[in-house]
Amino acid sequence: MSGEWRLLEVEWPEDPYLNLAAEEAIARAVGEGVAPTTLRFWRNANAVVIGAFQCASLEVRSRECLRHGVKVVRRFTGGGAVYHDIRNLNFAVSFRKPSPIPGDSIMKAYEAVGKAIVSGFGKLGVEAEFVPINDIQVRGRKICGMAGTLSRSLLFVHGCILVGSN
């Protein structure tokens, strides 16, 4: 499966819990060698996604989220809290290690994935740039942040592209 890729456009916009569980399950399957390198695009309706190591009570105004129907979900990677709505495009890339693309470093993975996204924006006529450590900017404004994880057999990067947001 080393050279094989698959593209998944599978989403459950009204169920961010299922979306995040699917993301982790896909990553684990790639890491275990039962699935090829996988790129997935998906969207969530209103949700706040917090990092694996964040304290929800410090990051999220739970009563406001409840009042506005915003679900709070924890992802399996680190990083900060991110607001998702249906006009954001989320992506996840799972690589089995060792992988020549992007190598065996999370920093190299951010750069490789970030530059691929920048290239895609260029084809759409949008001038974007990858800004280390893990951001993509347009005209100096962040439109995408990425997070990732690295294990003995998996290199995983995901992010949220702000296409339009509520």
DSSP state string for 52-119: TT--HHHH--HHHHHHHT-EEEE-SS-S--EEE-TTEEEEEEEEESS-TTT-S-HHHHHHHHHHHHHH
pLDDT at 99 over 90: no
Domains of the chain: 5-162 (3.30.930.10)
Dihedral over alpha carbons 65, 67, 68, 73 (to 10 degrees) = 30
Per-residue pLDDT reduced to its tens digit, 57-93: 999 999 999 999 999 999 999 999 999 999 999 999 9
pLDDT at 1 over 60: no
pLDDT of 87: 94
Distance CA 93, CA 70 (A): 26
Whole-number Cα distances in Å, 69 to 23, 48, 159, 163, 165: 22, 11, 23, 21, 16
pLDDT of 141: 96
- CA-wise closest residue to 116 among 93, 94, 100: 93
Distance CA 141, CA 96 (A): 32
Confidence label for 121 from pLDDT (cuts 50, 70 and 90): very high
* pTM exceeds 0.85, yes or no: yes
pLDDT at 47 over 90: yes
